[in-house]
Amino acid sequence: MDIDKFIDEIKKKFPNEIKQTEVVHTKRLMIYISKEALLKVTEYIFKDLGLRYIIVTAMDSKKGYEIIYHFSDDSTGWIINLNVVLPREKPEIESLTPVVYGTEWIEREIFDLLGITFLNHPNPKRFLFAEDWPEGKYPFRREQEKK
Amino acid sequence: MGKRTLVPIGPYHPLLEEPEFFKLYCDGEIVKEVVWETGYNHRSIEKICESKTFEQVFYVVERICGICSTSHPFAYANAVESIPGVDVPIRAKYIRTIIGELERIHSHLLWVGLAGHFLGYNTVFMWAWKYREPVLDMFEIITGNRNSYAMFTIGGVRRDIKEEQYPQLEKLLDEFKPKLDLITGAVMDDPVLHARLKGVGVLTAEDIHDFGAVGPVARASGVDIDVRRDDPYAAYDMVDWKVITAQAGDVFAKAEVRLLELYESISIIRQCIEGLKKEKGGEIKAKVKEIPPGIGIGRAEAPRGEVFHFVKSDGSNSPVRHKVRAPSFTCIPTFRRSCVGGTIADAAISLAAVDPCYCCTERMAQVYNYSTGKRIMNAAELIKLSQKRTEEFKTKFLKG
């Protein structure tokens, strides 16, 4: 995959959804997208282009709750990252599990740790924490540290 | 839907290291559904890393896995070094590669041994574990530890491999090669293993793509991926080796891939020793002053597959976010495709085939007659029956 060609193509295909693209460093591309576009863009790169799903990283950053979906192009070694920022109030995003089967566990883990709700998740149960873990306590939120 | 019996596997196994809980819902002998529960031993390593300095994180991530304890520092080093763009000295690259490949040897041998043990083929278990010992001894000679070697640091390695250790390393490989032939022969030429493992726990290339499975699990299904070749790091682009794949996707193919990979590992280590001889007296560590703000993504091919580390730095001396993805996280869920539809007897080896850390069978609580759906015995009655039988044996065989 020629990366310049890939960037041109994906920009042409999703002109409004893609906010910005950035080559972070060698072989690492970050694509900033809106949360509404996530399913469409993922379907394109996972199903049509056949990139391999790696994992999802979620963090509490200055911009809000930031979710990064990592995909790997194994023919060239590039890692394509989709970056979505969610507001702190009512963090919700569409679940990727119907498209990428493997994201089921990590989405449940992110709900446990950061309290992000994944809409239409087929099995929205706790993953890591015990059943008696208190409601509304999310250890990866910065507000927990201040308390 | 008929009546289903729950066969619990887990949550703790006295032999292996990780607590996890498989619930097999079975109809007779056939597994209909598998539910997995975890979180018994959540250690919060990602959160702990945020309170450590970049240097200290190496020794935290080294303790994620007790078997492949270099794979996490390897991926973390790749991630954190990519932020300032550190140029790792060639000698350090060779040393890193030697450590990584020695680890692959002892980890794959551990799996082959355990797989043999699960199948009741204890000869393979004894051999594999016996010939794994000299590899661990070699680690002690080079690094000072049989496990958790603490070799990696930002910009290179902490210890050099000394010149007098080259012959020891070469001797180890020379002696290991015939033993590996022996173990490989015991697995590949055994008609019983062919009958037992072929066509069991099959994963197709499509299944691999759906779950994002990696490593030998993916390669055994004909998916030709290996981070060592696709996104080269350390000395892997400086040595000559090939990626092993198989097409069948069953448990036998996974064993085949792992065993043949060991021959590649031996060849890689030999070439790295030659490289070290050429790089005599070279630096083993580059100077790194500070980690600037930015994100770093690093990968390494562990024995079980690709390890992925994501590090975000804000310019201070510790990461603000550190995400770790171990290969088992995407490999274990494949049990949904490999176990379902098979028998309970196959489930054990299908689950073990992805090389997770896995637990043993608990006692079933009730016995049903499947044609009538009628309960025959409960747990208390089973115990009573067992005690009655023991008494019978006692009177029969221990009389006088």
In a shared domain, residues B124 and B234:
yes
pLDDT reported for residue B254? 94
For B51, counting Cβ atoms within 10 Å of its Cβ (0-12 exposed, 13-18 middle, 19+ buried), the class is exposed
Give whole-number Cα distances, B261 to A56, A72, B24, B107, B226, in Å.
29, 23, 32, 11, 12
Whether residue B360 is predicted with pLDDT greater than 50 in this model: the reply is no
Average pLDDT over residues B365-382: 59
Give the residue from B293, B326, B359 where a domain finishes.
Answer: B326
Whether residue B306 lies within 8 A of chain A, CB to CB, comes out as yes
In a shared domain, residues B316 and B351:
no
Whether residue B15 is predicted with pLDDT greater than 60 in this model: the reply is no
We report the CATH number of the domain holding residue A14 as 3.30.460.80
Whether residue B102 is predicted with pLDDT greater than 90 in this model: the reply is yes
Number of domains in chain A: 1
Q: In which band, very low, low, confident or very high, does the pLDDT at B366 lie, cut at 50, 70 and 90?
A: very low
Range of the domain at B31: 5-39+336-397
Average pLDDT over residues B319-343: 88
Give the residue from B326, B350, B377 where a domain finishes.
Answer: B326
Least confident of A82-86, B362-366, B379-383, B394-398: B362-366
Provide, as residue numbers in chain B, all residues whose Cβ is less than 8 Å from the Cβ of A57.
Answer: 310, 321, 323
* Residue B138 resides in a domain: yes
Whether residue B82 lies within 8 A of chain A, CB to CB, comes out as yes
Does residue A119 sit in helix, strand or coil? strand
Say whether A129 and B39 touch across the interface (CB within 8 A).
yes
Whether residue A32 lies within 8 A of chain B, CB to CB, comes out as no
In a shared domain, residues B358 and B288:
no
Mutation site for A-interface testing, chosen from B21, B310, B334 by largest number of A Cβ within 10 Å: B310
In a shared domain, residues B274 and B243:
yes
Q: Which residues of B353-379 are buried (b: 16+ CB within 10 A; e: fewer)?
A: bbbbbbbeeeeeeeebeeeeeeeeeee
In a shared domain, residues B119 and B204:
yes
Provide, as residue numbers in chain B, all residues whose Cβ is less than 8 Å from the Cβ of A102.
Answer: 210-213, 330, 333
Nearest CA-CA distance, residue A71 and chain B, Å:
10
**Per the structure block, which two tokens stand in for B141?**
């000679």
Whether residue A120 is predicted with pLDDT greater than 90 in this model: the reply is yes
The answer for residues whose C-beta is within 8 angstroms of residue B294's C-beta and 6 or more apart is A24, A25, B83, B312, B313
Q: Tell me which DSSP letter residue A45 carries.
A: I
The residues in A 41-100 lying below 8 A from B, measured between CB atoms, are 50, 52-55, 57, 59, 61, 68, 70, 72, 74-77, 79, 81, 100
* Residue B383 resides in a domain: yes
Kindly report the pTM of this predicted structure.
0.88
pLDDT: is A67 or B353 the higher one? A67
Residue of A nearest to B314 (CA): A61
Q: Residue B337: what residue type?
A: R
Least confident of A110-114, B181-185, B298-302, B366-370: B366-370
pLDDT in tens, A17-61: 899 999 988 899 999 999 999 999 999 999 999 999 999 999 999
Average pLDDT over residues B104-131: 91
pLDDT reported for residue B40? 72
Q: In which band, very low, low, confident or very high, does the pLDDT at A140 lie, cut at 50, 70 and 90?
A: confident
In a shared domain, residues B306 and B345:
no
Q: Residue B340: what residue type?
A: V
Whether residue B85 lies within 8 A of chain A, CB to CB, comes out as yes
Q: Residues of chain B with pLDDT > 70: what percent?
A: 90
In a shared domain, residues B130 and B209:
yes
We report the CATH number of the domain holding residue B135 as 1.10.645.10
pLDDT reported for residue B375? 62
pLDDT reported for residue B378? 67
pLDDT in tens, B129-171: 999 999 999 999 999 988 889 999 999 999 999 999 999 999 9
The answer for residues whose C-beta is within 8 angstroms of residue B204's C-beta and 6 or more apart is B221, B249, B337
In a shared domain, residues B274 and B147:
yes
* Residue B331 resides in a domain: no
Residue of B nearest to A78 (CA): B231
Provide, as residue numbers in chain A, all residues whose Cβ is less than 8 Å from the Cβ of B296.
Answer: 25
In a shared domain, residues B210 and B358:
no
pLDDT: is B95 or B344 the higher one? B95
Q: Residues of chain B with pLDDT > 90: what percent?
A: 57
Residue of B nearest to A79 (CA): B297
Number of domains in chain B: 2
Whether residue B399 is predicted with pLDDT greater than 70 in this model: the reply is no
Say whether A102 and B212 touch across the interface (CB within 8 A).
yes
CB pairs under 8 A between A and B: 85
* Residue B132 resides in a domain: yes
Say whether A25 and B296 touch across the interface (CB within 8 A).
yes
Provide, as residue numbers in chain A, all residues whose Cβ is less than 8 Å from the Cβ of B47.
Answer: 139-140
Residue B210 has its nearest CB partner, among A70, A101, A128, at: A101
CA distance A140 to B138: 41
In a shared domain, residues B133 and B267:
yes
Q: Are A7 and A30 in contact (CB under 8 A)?
A: no
In a shared domain, residues B29 and B109:
no
pLDDT reported for residue B28? 85
In a shared domain, residues B12 and B94:
no
Whether residue B87 is predicted with pLDDT greater than 50 in this model: the reply is yes
pLDDT reported for residue B146? 87
Least confident of B3-7, B72-76, B268-272: B3-7
Range of the domain at A142: 3-146
pLDDT in tens, B252-283: 999 999 999 999 999 999 999 999 999 898 89
Least confident of A64-78, A96-110, B183-197, B361-375: B361-375
Give the residue from B267, B291, B326 where a domain finishes.
Answer: B326
Provide, as residue numbers in chain A, all residues whose Cβ is less than 8 Å from the Cβ of B82.
Answer: 25-26, 28
CA distance B338 to B321: 35
Give whole-number Cα distances, B357 to B65, B85, B241, B259, in Å.
10, 35, 29, 19
pLDDT reported for residue B169? 95
**Per the structure block, which two tokens stand in for A43?**
């379907």
pLDDT in tens, A70-117: 999 999 999 999 999 999 998 999 999 999 999 998 999 899 889 999
Whether residue B32 lies within 8 A of chain A, CB to CB, comes out as no
Least confident of B169-173, B209-213, B368-372: B368-372
State the ipTM, two decimals: 0.94
